[in-house]
């Protein structure tokens, strides 16, 4: 049974513990590339390997289409995972143990579950003699958890011909959300951008024993932090959010509040905490002051503070617009602050595409009474590199009813990450069915 094959492969990927802590010498995804090469190779499939830095390997396998004009599809899963704090877990985080129908371990939902089910689907298609018109590509990619530098970003820039496809499917989405009109399955058609900023706040050094009327950079910086925290960017109701709210069939008073640019901010206070954070992030540019370094010694009045602010931008926003918001937040302190920003804008794919239609047909069969809704990813995925290169990229997979959106959200980079075996089987069926529907 392919559900069992997916489960087995997922357990081994978890046990490989390709932990990416952001350092180039971490990750060691080569272990999972070896595993996947062996797995696909045992069915007679050829694979290509790319290793831009020692150990940071990615693997590509292809089923060439018969018609060079036909559109291609890429199934992409990352093999790296984020670090764990084992103290917070109730089981060993890299065991891959199965308990009560759930596979436990770091990466179970982000996203080794998908990496495994895509590999099984790809191998099964190849073995069953699948000869599509359009090319099918499988990519097990390194370094997603640290900006994709040695993974998707590198491959799109340096090995475009090997990995580029017209359509891309990767994490996440596809959890079953009940509505009065039936199950809705979110497809991540867009993701927010980042505008990470380093703020340097100056002062005048002096002796700590005479602080009266001094120009202390830590004191100024604390006011800068307070202003950024208090800043209320305008609510923006964009297309993806509107289509999501309409598709969810919320009661009219909730839908009304969710689509009201004037009233939404106040309505957030009434929502459960996790929900209010997500709704806020989907409808606002967000500013989070997260790192601060300043001062050198207890008896020295500090003349420099460095503050790092995690800014997340909405589809369509330019760097100039975001910079103007930051200046607005700082007010009359703006000229006391030097700002260095790295703009990585939001990316978006349209909803009216053959990929969307194909997903809709297939999921309608696999999850009875379901329909798709577009959704905005508030974090980042490797889809952004492919969208910028011209692909239509969606975040999607399928999950059973045993895994709610709330479970899923808390396990992402959290403790006690696990996935049920039924979800693995559903996703495996999804990839096979979409490849056949779209490429044949």
Interaction site with Zn ion (CB under 5 A) = 110-111, 171
- E-only strand ranges, 295-436: 300-301, 304-313, 337-344, 347-348, 371-377, 392-395, 418-420
C-beta of 19: minimal distance to Zn ion in Å? 13
Bridge partners of 63?
Answer: 136
User: Cα–Cα distance between 261 and 263 in angstroms, integer?
Assistant: 6
What would you report as the CA-atom Rg of the chain, rounded to the nearest whole angstrom? 24
Q: 98 near 7, Cβ under 8 Å?
A: yes
- Which pair of structure tokens corresponds to residue 323? 């910079």
User: Cα–Cα distance between 258 and 249 in angstroms, integer?
Assistant: 12
56 class by beta-carbon count within 10 Å (0-12 exposed, 13-18 middle, 19+ buried)? buried
C-beta of 301: minimal distance to Zn ion in Å? 44
Q: 221 near 291, Cβ under 8 Å?
A: no
Decide whether 112 or 392 has the Cβ nearer to Zn ion: 112
C-beta of 417: minimal distance to Zn ion in Å? 11
Which of these, 121, 119, 116, 118, lies nearest to 10 by C-alpha position?
Answer: 116
Decide whether 79 or 346 has the Cβ nearer to Zn ion: 79
Decide whether 148 or 315 has the Cβ nearer to Zn ion: 148
Decide whether 287 or 385 has the Cβ nearer to Zn ion: 385
C-beta of 144: minimal distance to Zn ion in Å? 5
C-beta of 65: minimal distance to Zn ion in Å? 28
Decide whether 249 or 413 has the Cβ nearer to Zn ion: 413
Decide whether 171 or 348 has the Cβ nearer to Zn ion: 171
Give the number of other CB atoms < 10 A from CB of residue 110. 23
């Amino acid at each position: 049974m392919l559900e069992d094959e997916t489960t087995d492969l997922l357990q081994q990927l978890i046990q490989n513990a390709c932990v990416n802590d952001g350092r180039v010498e971490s990750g060691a995804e080569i272990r999972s590339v070896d595993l996947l090469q062996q797995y696909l190779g045992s069915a007679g499939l050829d694979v290509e390997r790319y290793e831009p830095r020692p150990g940071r390997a990615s693997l590509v396998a292809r089923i060439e289409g018969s018609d060079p004009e036909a559109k291609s599809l890429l199934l992409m899963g990352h093999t790296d995972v984020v670090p764990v704090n084992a103290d917070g877990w109730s089981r060993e985080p890299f065991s891959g143990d199965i308990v009560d129908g759930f596979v436990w371990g770091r990466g179970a939902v982000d996203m080794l579950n998908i990496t495994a089910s895509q590999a099984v689907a790809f191998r099964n298609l190849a073995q069953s003699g699948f000869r599509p018109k359009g090319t099918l590509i499988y990519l097990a990619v390194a370094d997603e958890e640290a900006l994709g530098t040695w993974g998707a970003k590198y491959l799109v820039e340096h090995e475009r011909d090997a990995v580029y496809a017209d359509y891309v499917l990767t994490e996440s989405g596809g959890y079953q959300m009940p509505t009065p009109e039936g199950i809705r399955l979110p497809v991540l058609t867009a993701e927010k951008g980042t505008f990470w900023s380093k703020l340097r706040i100056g002062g005048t050094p002096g002796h700590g024993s005479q602080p009266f009327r001094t120009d202390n950079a830590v004191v100024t910086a604390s006011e800068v932090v307070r202003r950024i925290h208090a800043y209320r960017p305008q609510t923006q109701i964009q297309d993806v959010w509107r289509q999501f709210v309409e598709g969810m069939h919320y009661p009219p008073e909730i839908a009304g509040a969710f689509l009201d640019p004037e009233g939404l901010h106040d309505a957030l206070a009434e929502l459960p905490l996790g929900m209010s954070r997500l709704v806020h992030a989907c409808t606002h540019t967000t500013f989070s002051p997260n790192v601060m370094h300043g001062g050198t010694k207890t008896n020295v009045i500090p003349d420099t503070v460095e503050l790092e602010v995690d800014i997340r931008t909405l589809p369509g926003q330019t760097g100039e617009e975001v910079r103007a918001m930051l200046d607005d937040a700082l007010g009359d302190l703006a000229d006391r602050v030097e700002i260095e920003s790295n703009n990585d804008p939001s990316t978006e794919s349209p909803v009216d595409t053959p990929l969307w239609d194909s997903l809709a047909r297939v999921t309608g069969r696999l999850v009875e009474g379901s329909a798709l809704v577009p959704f905005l990813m508030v974090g980042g995925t490797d889809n952004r590199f492919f969208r910028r290169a011209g692909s239509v990229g969606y975040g999607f997979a399928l999950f059973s009813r045993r895994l709610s959106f709330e479970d899923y959200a808390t396990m992402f980079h959290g403790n006690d990450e696990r996935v049920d075996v039924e979800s693995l089987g559903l996703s495996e069926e999804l990839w096979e069915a979409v490849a056949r529907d779209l490429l044949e």
